[in-house]
Amino acid sequence: MYPLILGSSSVYRVELLRKLNLPFRTVSPNIDEAPLQNEVPADLVKRLAEQKAIAIALSHPKALIIGSDQVAVLHGDILGKPGTHEAATEQLQAASGQTVLFLTGLALFNSETQRMQSLVEPFEVTFKNLSDKQIQFYLEKEEPYQCAGSFKSEGLGISLFDKLQGNDPNSLIGLPLIELISLLNNEGLDVLQPSRTS
């Protein structure tokens, strides 16, 4: 069996992948994540997920490498990681009462065979009408400044929403496990088999 590598430094993606009870290691990819000119959000996350996996493959020639990237989209515009309290406040004010589309790019690259499987998983989140006081309370408690869209759905962020709509709630946190299981199975790795091969 090929060793499994998660190309991410995200503690949230690590926790998600642990659900599958597979041995894996993490390697942080070092790539330029800037969007290309006129690149639409879905193309951006798919490209970055693939590039992360390929970047790691250069030093891991016989492995299955998972790459993932996520953006939040509001009215066609990408909501990135806010970085600051002020930017997070602006993002949540803009998202209040609106539906935000989260797009997660997922790639699985076999660095020996050079087989790339990739996809984009959508997930919609409808925000409650939030008061400035609620936004400030949330930001002070969670400090989600490195999270796309300024929230952590695995924490208090769930209180910001009226409705969630999508195939896999794990994709909202950054790793669509249902689709990943299918991609792994295509590589002969069955998470439900004791031998781990299909």
Query: Of the residues 32, 43, 69, 132, which is catalytic?
Result: 69
Q: Helix, strand, coil proportions of the chain in percent (round to 5)?
A: 35, 25, 40
First-residue to last-residue Cα distance in the chain? 11
Tell me if residue 69 is catalytic.
Answer: yes
- 123's tokens: 């997930």
CA 144 to mean position of chain CA atoms: 15
Q: Beta-carbon neighbour count of residue 142 at 10 Å?
A: 18
What distance in Å separates the CA atoms of residue 52 and residue 103, rounded to the nearest whole number? 16
Q: Give the burial class of 147: count Cβ atoms within 10 A of its Cβ; 0-12 exposed, 13-18 middle, 19 or more buried.
A: buried
What distance in Å separates the CA atoms of residue 108 and residue 129, rounded to the nearest whole number? 38
Residue whose structure tokens are 């989600």? 144
Give the residue numbers marked as catalytic: 69
